[in-house]
Structure 1
Amino acid sequence: MGKASAPSLNTYALNMKFLLIACVVTANIIEPMIDRSSPLFALYETIYSFHIPMFALAMGYFAKSFRLDRPGIDGLCTIAYQYVLFQTLYSLADIVFFQAKGVIHSFFMPYSLLWFLLSHLCWRLLLRAFVHMRHPLVISILLGIAVGYLPWPGAWLSVSRTLVYFPFFLAGYYLPQHWETIVKRLRMPTVLLGIGVICFFWLGGRIDPRWLYGSFTYAEAGHPEWYAGIYRLGMYGVQTAASIAFLSLVPWAAGRITDWGKRTGYVFLLHAFILKSLLAAGVYVYLQTPWSQGLTIIAGFGIVWLLSQPWVEAHAKRWFEPDITFVKRLVLKSHGTP
């Protein structure tokens, strides 16, 4: 078996991104119903056992060429712009329409899924320091455990998730080109591992979702004990097992989902407007039967497909990635980059 080529690995990563965003939307669209349906709760926790770690891994893979040069700083400015834009838009929409309880409207407290933008920005900055360290993955895991002892809310500036999931980002950055060979050799063990994870959740196993989110400190999760870090280490084990099983199921061949995988950013940033509108409109009150809940999942896939279409990119790209040359010049000048 020869080594996987870079284009092959890129195809694999794009396929993975699309499957992950489909999982994200599925988890988000069923979340309001998980308290009244054991199967939906099991599906929700199964998805959460791998989808955040795997998105971090995918971002790490696509950061392989990142440097603090002009293209790198351009990318950081774009991420920062998207965070400011959508934090503003979602906060305004929440105040006027959604009116969700317990939401803090502040740029220091990312709204809902926007934490990922802030963490992605921080991961890329942290990367430049960690690539010069010995044993960077071990150090990142220790930091992910240590952050749980913070005396303030872990969601503040997304500091908890940034450090909790940074090991997976680093793993993606160091993902070897011969990953295809590794996956195919371990396909049977990883499939069995995946079956084990699925059986755990679907046969009644439960994990407090706060541990799967990664945004809560140990005290916030109800475990102020000094040894609570052991639980986080255990969660790393569960999430790694589930993630490896998921990776073995991602197709290597190029197809439609490969093309759709290039536009997952639009799905990620826009789908919550649809889902939160449905929630605010009271639609979930009528979704009580297994049939209606199943149709909800199908509707989630429809949303993913719709927002992955080229016409969405054609109309939204100028708003998502506008020309902010003047900002980039200021950053480049302050950084001393020609």
Structure 2
Amino acid sequence: MLLTRATPVPHATAAPEGRQDPLPSAEAVARRAPARRDPFLDNAKYLAIVLVAVGHAWEPLREGNRPVTAVYMLVYAFHMPVFAMISGSLSRGFEATPRQLGRLLTGLVVPYVLFETAYTYFTRWTSEDPDRAVTLLDPLYLTWYLAALFIWRLTTPVWKTLRRPLPVALTIAAAATLSPAIGNDLDLQRVAQFLPYFVLGLCLRPEHLRLLHRRGTRRLAVPLFAGALCFAYWAVPRMDYAWFFHNDSATALAAPAWAGPIMTLATFGCSVVLAAGFLAWVPRRSTWFTALGAGTLYAYLLHGFIAQAAEHWGWYTLPWLHHPAGEVTVTLLAAATMTALCAPAVQRPLRALPAWPARWAFRR
């Protein structure tokens, strides 16, 4: 680095005799050192967000199509649990300091307000509900995850103080399936039912992830997903895959109330095993898409406009899209679109959106 005239040149000075400055602790050094992004987590976020976009692109193709519905069920069994687990893993250092709370407000609350408003006006145009009111209490379409992540992260210090946080989170999720009275306010039904995956991410340690990187684990993931796909194909006419959406109580899914806690444990076990199989195949090193994993939040929010516009403009009415070649084309287009939305050139101006309200709303 070049020194200017105004830059003082440091001189070595000896410590006073009999006194020695203490060396900084490892924790102090870690706090001062800039956080280094983990390529494994960024790779996992990118691959998972591509699956989110592909799953939404498959939705209009499901009716009367058992193979597409089976793959759709398989993907929905683990892609959002993966995101919740990664969010929990990245929240281990959250201690509700003023700086962290400020970043939480600018990183989640401000985008929630902006995109909830934008989705409302966009939905007025694409749907038959031109009079839908703008409300921040009823998350619309994809914004539910911002509300959920805000609540989960705020409660992180509580989960970190509990001796057995995962059983407590599973109990809350099971209780939610017994409570049809939980309304749409902040999508609390989903917040509660996806909570165990976030808490599981908080509990994970690097040594747990290292188990997934073993060659034997990666080999087991192949028959795991093959068997899961066969089971999903068998289950399509026999099971309501809405259980994996985690946004309704048991009675709302036309099931007896006692089935709610059982399905909570069953879907949790299924999702965690599939998530482990998925993460086992995620590359640990930097790849061409590692940098794209840093831009998944806004890509997630943006692709919803494209998905809604595609249905509004009748793109899915083309007959050839409902054949294997069309389904493959839809899959590739969805993956390419999400990849483009994750690009730094797209993300850079979007990350500046929360800056202007933060200047006057929050203390520096």
TM-score (norm 2): 0.83
Q: Does 1:294 align with 2:328?
A: yes
1-structure distance, mates of 2:130, 2:76: 23
Tell me the amino acid that sits aligned with residue 206 of structure 2.
Q
Aligned residue among 114, 120, 128 for 2:143: 114
Q: Deviations over 1:274-321 (max 9, x none)?
A: 111111111111133322222111110111121111211233222255
Higher mean C-alpha displacement, 167-176 vs 137-146: 167-176
1-structure distance, mates of 2:135, 2:313: 25
Seq. identity, %:
25
What is the Cα deviation at residue 101 of structure 1? 10
Which has the higher Rg, Structure 1 or Structure 2?
2
Q: Does 1:84 align with 2:118?
A: no
Aligned residue among 252, 264, 272 for 1:232: 264
Q: Give the total of aligned pairs.
A: 325
Q: Using a 3 Å threshold, how does the CA distance of structure 1 residues 33 and 227 change in structure 2: closer, same or farther?
A: closer
Tell me the amino acid that sits aligned with residue 137 of structure 2.
F
What is residue 60 of structure 1 aligned with on the other side?
Answer: 88
Structure 2 gaps, min length 5: 1-34
Tell me the amino acid that sits aligned with residue 301 of structure 1.
A
Q: Report the secondary structure of 2:239's partner residue.
A: coil
Q: Does 1:173 align with 2:202?
A: yes
What is residue 192 of structure 2 aligned with on the other side?
Answer: 163
Q: Does 1:241 align with 2:270?
A: no
What is residue 60 of structure 2 aligned with on the other side?
Answer: 32
Tell me the amino acid that sits aligned with residue 316 of structure 1.
L
Tell me the amino acid that sits aligned with residue 316 of structure 2.
Y
Contact 2:87 2:198 in 1 (8 A): yes
What is residue 12 of structure 1 aligned with on the other side?
Answer: 40
Q: Deviations over 1:52-79 (max 9, x none)?
A: 1100011111112212112211222121
What is residue 253 of structure 2 aligned with on the other side?
Answer: 221
Q: Deviations over 1:161-198 (max 9, x none)?
A: 11111111112122212244311343334443333212
What is the Cα deviation at residue 202 of structure 1? 3.5
Q: Report the secondary structure of 2:285's partner residue.
A: coil
Q: Using a 3 Å threshold, how does the CA distance of structure 1 residues 190 and 294 change in structure 2: closer, same or farther?
A: closer
Tell me the amino acid that sits aligned with residue 69 of structure 1.
T
Contact 1:9 1:177 in 2 (8 A): no
Aligned residue among 138, 150, 154 for 2:167: 138
Aligned residue among 315, 323, 326 for 1:283: 315
Tell me the amino acid that sits aligned with residue 307 of structure 1.
L
Contact 1:148 1:154 in 2 (8 A): no
Q: Using a 3 Å threshold, how does the CA distance of structure 1 residues 89 and 302 change in structure 2: closer, same or farther?
A: same
Higher mean C-alpha displacement, 286-295 vs 56-65: 286-295
TM-score (norm 1): 0.89
What is residue 229 of structure 2 aligned with on the other side?
Answer: 198
Tell me the amino acid that sits aligned with residue 197 of structure 1.
A
2-structure distance, mates of 1:244, 1:142: 22
Tell me the amino acid that sits aligned with residue 192 of structure 1.
P
What is residue 272 of structure 1 aligned with on the other side?
Answer: 304
What is the Cα deviation at residue 153 of structure 1? 4.6
**Which structure carries more relative contact order (alpha carbon 8 Å, separation 6+)?**
1
1-structure distance, mates of 2:325, 2:132: 32
